Amino acid sequence: MTVEEPEQLALLRSTVKASRARPPRPRPEQAGELPVARVVVDVELAHLDRPFDYLVPEPLAAAAQPGVRVRVRFSGRLVDGYVVERVAESGHAGRLSFLDRVVSPEPVLAPQVLRLAREVADRYAGTLADVLRLAVPPRHARVEAATTEPSDQPEPTAAPAERPEPAGWTRYDSGPALLDAVHAGATVRAVWSALPGPTWPDELARLLVTALAADRGALVVLPDHRDVDRVDAALTALAGADQHVVLTAEPGPAERYRRWLRVRRGRVRAVLGTRAAMFAPVHDLGLAVVWDDGDDLHAEPRAPYPHVRSVLALRSTIEGAALVVGGLSRTTEGAGLVRSGWARAVAAPRDVVRRTAPAVLADTGADHRSDDGVRGARLPTLAWRTAHRALEHGPVLVQVPRGGYLPGLACATCRAPARCPACRGPLGRADGVAVPACRWCGAPAAAWECPSCDGQRLRSTVVGSRRTAEELGRAFPRTPVRSSGAGGEVLATVGPEPALVVATPGAEPVADGGYAAALLLDGWALLGRPDLRAAEEALRRWTGAAALVRPGPDGGTVILLGDAASPAVQALVRWDQAGFADRELGERAALRLPPEARMASLTGPPAALAGFLAAAELPAPAEVLGPVPAGPDLERFLVRAPRAAWPGTVAALKAAAGVRSAHKDAGSVRLQVDPLEIA
């Protein structure tokens, strides 16, 4: 082998490699007019929460308009994004990449939704990309192709609605004035305490049609599809089916996207829906309504965890729309809006409340009848007699705080909670003969032994809805018993015939003609939860069930088994939910608790939390509380600050998240502003 052979081999290899290499792709010609597109890319990194500039190829110049979906190359890979602006020049000094392609010419990101998403991201210390995932549904190409050509201008197809009569709104102080303000296009804000009974869906429908009659858009967000169905029926009866669309998950992604496109294109200007509908791109929004804002279904479980009430309040400010926060009960946040003067209260006079609300009696449950069947049903004398009399006139609702059979067990000797030997989870029983099993890992505990006293017998600490239905069947052997709620079918309605309807909170069906009575069992279970909102939530759950009962003058009665001295129990007895919310607000203000102060929670590994707090330059009024255990190898801190100092605090938290993201620090930290639960 000669000396030249290695050189010849190297030359041969380089020649072959060059021949196999793809020739460089020529750069396309950029658009002649407004050649730069500002794009929001779909990346989760906090330090990249800003638009990026790309050149628009001439073939894409007509399609790459603000609001359309595009694909761009970012950090060496293709990612999704939205064009938010076309400009003549870029402020970036380096070389710009070209848009890879326009996914669809449909302008799905409306300008008002983009601004709202930016505000929501800043308020909740999140990223714009996270909010846009919530605001814009995934694309369905066949749906886009099957509908008419996209248009960014309103194209109403339904005849304008006529302003309806006030009807039930005349029962409220300032009710007709609220309708007048909505019809006049005023940016009015109201906290509405709805009267009990079946009329609130019709009142909501009249409020919405009043906005449509003023040639403005309207949006109503409700907790679940059952509430949506009730308002949908009332709105259809009042104004017809062509004035609105329903945005929920039930029809499926394709149908939901088709309805969403009708809203985006301006074909309809009224929307009913659940949580995701808070971002619906309604043209010329004149009214936004959130119903039952205390329901935890209004809190988005995905980052940045926005709440419907806060999002619609921002929309009201940005778009100049009226805002109504309504419900049968009132939250402390609603009370805070009224106390601050930002919103005004809309409620009925006390004499009207007394005529429409059922009679509510509190019973501690200490006095039981001697009958074995009734004693087994856990009904005191007053509750048993009330149910017995009411069944002669119609159905009786029985609300039980827990689903299942026996979801809680304890040692029969020392009363210590029964825990799983394997994972320390709580033990429960699926039915009357089942072996106790862990509610976390499912492991059976047939040979359970108490680690405190060596006892081997178990007793129930919490009775579920299935066991309650079984007990009531024995106590009322000739009465049908129906169940609705967790672990089973959720009934929407029941007939007027006598029956016992056992339901978990939030799953109570509507009775034709109203319930003759309601029994609210185990009030202590709702009041005893280790949560700041336990009493407020208990009152809201009780109010929702009691509102389905006939008025007191018509014989409707509610028996609440709970401590009569509790302020929440007394509020239900007096039907004074607004007064309870005001009292709660005052107590929380004295203790510097939400909503008078603002809070954020930080959850993650200890080392990651230490790094996050070190990077956060919190303003002086802010304070850090904790840490407390939050799970295996996890801790939680709370950051608290007065409302006046909160904008600077949340900005510091968001900046710290950006620093950790840029440095690629190890460990994940969950940042949640205004957490719903504060134990």
CB 243 within 8 A of CB 268: yes
Q: How confident is the model at residue 192 (pLDDT cuts 50, 70, 90)?
A: very high
Average pLDDT, the chain: 90
**pLDDT confidence band for 405 (50 / 70 / 90):** confident
- Three-state SS across 556-606? CEEEEECCCCCHHHHHHHHCCHHHHHHHHHHHHHHHCCCCCEEEEEEEECH
Residue where the block lists tokens 């805070």: 336
pLDDT of residue 200: 97
87 has pLDDT over 60: yes
Residue where a domain terminates, one of 93, 109, 125: 109
pLDDT of residue 366: 58
Residue 152 domain-assigned (yes or no): no
CB 431 within 8 A of CB 405: yes
What value does the mean pLDDT take over residues 354-364? 93
10 occurs within a structural domain: no
Q: Are residues 559 and 605 in the same domain?
A: no
> Domain range holding 398?
359-404+464-574
In a domain, 536, yes or no: yes
Residues 177 and 92 placed together within one structural domain of the fold: no
**Which pLDDT score is estimated for 105?**
93
Per-residue pLDDT band at 43 (split at 50, 70, 90) = very high
381 with 517, same domain: the answer is yes
386 and 507 belong to one structural domain = yes
134 lies in a domain? no
| pLDDT exceeds cutoff 60 at 376 | no
Q: Are residues 232 and 332 in the same domain?
A: yes
Question: Which of 332, 353, 374 is where one domain is finished?
Answer: 353
CATH number for the domain harbouring residue 103: 3.40.1440.60
Residues 325 and 374 in one domain: no
Domain count, the chain: 4
Is 556 in the same domain as 502? Answer: yes
How are strands ordered across the β-sheet holding 344-346? 245-247, 270-273, 217-221, 285-291, 322-327, 189-193, 344-346
- Residue 137 inside a domain? The answer is no
Same domain, 263 and 207: yes
Same domain, 198 and 256: yes
Residues 528 and 513 in one domain: yes
For the chain, what percent of residues have pLDDT higher than 90?
72
pLDDT confidence bin for 154, thresholds 50/70/90: very low
Is residue 260 in some structural domain? yes
Range ranked top by mean pLDDT from 351-360, 409-418, 466-475: 351-360
The pLDDT of residue 412: 85
Look at residue 618 and tell me if it is in a domain.
yes
* Residues in CB range of 121: below 8 A, 6 or more apart: 49, 127, 128, 130, 131, 304
Which CATH number is 193's domain given?
3.40.50.300
| Residue 179 is assigned to a structural domain of this protein | yes
Q: How far apart are CA 485 and CA 491, in angstroms?
A: 8
The predicted structure's pLDDT at residue 1: 40
If asked whether residues 481 and 559 sit together in one domain, one would say yes
Residue 487 has pLDDT above 50, yes or no: yes
Q: What percent of the chain is modeled with pLDDT above 70?
A: 91
Residue indicated by tokens 């460990």: 667
Q: Identify the CATH number of the domain in which residue 640 sits.
A: 3.30.70
| Last-in-domain residue among 353, 384, 418 | 353
Judgement on whether residues 486 and 364 belong to the same structural domain of the protein: yes
